[in-house]
A and B are shown apart, each in its own frame.
Chain A
Amino acid sequence: MPEQIDPRPADAVPSESHRNGDAEPPGTVATGLTREQLPPFVSPTDILLVSPLHREVIAELRWAYEQCERGAFNAYLGQYLAIVNRTVEAVGDPGCARDEAANKTGVPPERVALFYVGGE
């Protein structure tokens, strides 16, 4: 059974139907997806959720994906970025960058979000 908690990250953006004012059916969890946004064989309520720690990591990743699309990370091609509080704290190998960011910010290493800047 999926956990019945509100998974919505603090800065989650409502889905298109929510923006249009459609309420979710009573008794469903907030999945962020509508029936129309899913393949027909998937139920919008049948989801597994990440832990509170990983919700914080994902909030950092959401920011990182946006920055990447805007070109803000173009200087870091082929590097791993270690991110805490929407700040790139370290760059380089994944392990070293994660430890360096954790040491600088005082958070545990698993709270640091790692982001890879692909591209060419």
Chain B
Amino acid sequence: MAVIRIPVVNEPRQNPIRYFDETGQLHELPLLRLRADILIGTDPARSAEDRRPQFPAILDTGAPLSVFPKRVWQRFEPAITRLRVADERPLAGSAGGRRFTYFLGRVSVAVTDLFGRRLRAVPVLAQFREDDIPEGEPRAAVPLGLGDGILEGRALTRWPTVERYDPDISTLESHGQWWWLADP
């Protein structure tokens, strides 16, 4: 069993949304996301020689699959095994109101946390986007989805906590929740 922690981050908003609760108290609407930092490629024989590139990602259990934008996967294309679809047709998906074509593939992904723990690399089935995002538009994130991905065979645990801060970074708010991802 190996374990890492998954940090919850309150992402910034250009225009923060504030609201009054039932008692008239003012609150700011949170924009919480589970963040994960990943290493691409199979685990090297010795940790000391590990020079895999790190990429930021978002753990998204609402996403059916993991998705890599073109500008991300182009950096590790040789590590991707392209998969053939059974019926020959172009594959298309959408994210954030934007449609894109993609190819299916598999790549090994390891996850790290902010203390320096890691989980072993596992093969992840993913959509590899083929669209170019125009200059000036927000870059796409890397969602790590529910199917055939880094959660496969692992336990994702959410614990409510009254501790104000994250155990790994004493200034990072816990937002009332601590998350772990563990190998069986």
Q: Would you mind naming 11 contact pairs between A and B with Cβ atoms under 8 Å apart?
A: A7-B115, A8-B115, A31-B117, A49-B118, A51-B49, A58-B114, A58-B115, A66-B171, A68-B12, A69-B171, A109-B53
**A88 contacts the other chain (Cβ, under 8 Å)?**
no
Q: Is the Cβ of B138 less than 8 Å from the Cβ of A49?
A: no
Task: Please state if A119 and B11 are interface contacts (CB–CB under 8 Å).
Answer: yes
Please state if B9 and A65 are interface contacts (CB–CB under 8 Å). Answer: yes
The reply to whether B1 and A57 form a contact with Cβ atoms under 8 Å apart is no
Partner of A61, one of B13, B114, B119, B159: B114
Assembly CA distance A71 to B65 (angstroms): 30
Which residue of chain A is the closest to B173 with respect to CB atoms?
A: A69
Q: Which residues does A use to contact B, with CB under 8 Å? A: 2-3, 7-9, 12-13, 15-16, 31-33, 37-39, 41-43, 46-55, 57-58, 61-62, 65-66, 68-69, 71, 73-74, 77-80, 92-96, 98, 108-110, 113-120
Which residues of the partner chain A approach B178 to less than 8 Å between Cβ atoms? Answer: 37
Number of interface residues of B (CB under 8 A): 59
B93 at the interface (CB under 8 A from A): no
Does B167 lie at the interface of the complex (its beta carbon under 8 Å from any beta carbon of A)?
Answer: yes
Closest Cβ of chain B to A58, distance in Å, is 5
CB distance from A117 to the nearest CB of B (A): 7
B148-184 interface with A by 8 A CB criterion: 155, 157, 159, 163, 167-173, 178, 180, 182
Q: Is B99 an interface residue (CB 8 A)?
A: no
Nearest CB on B from A42, distance (A): 5
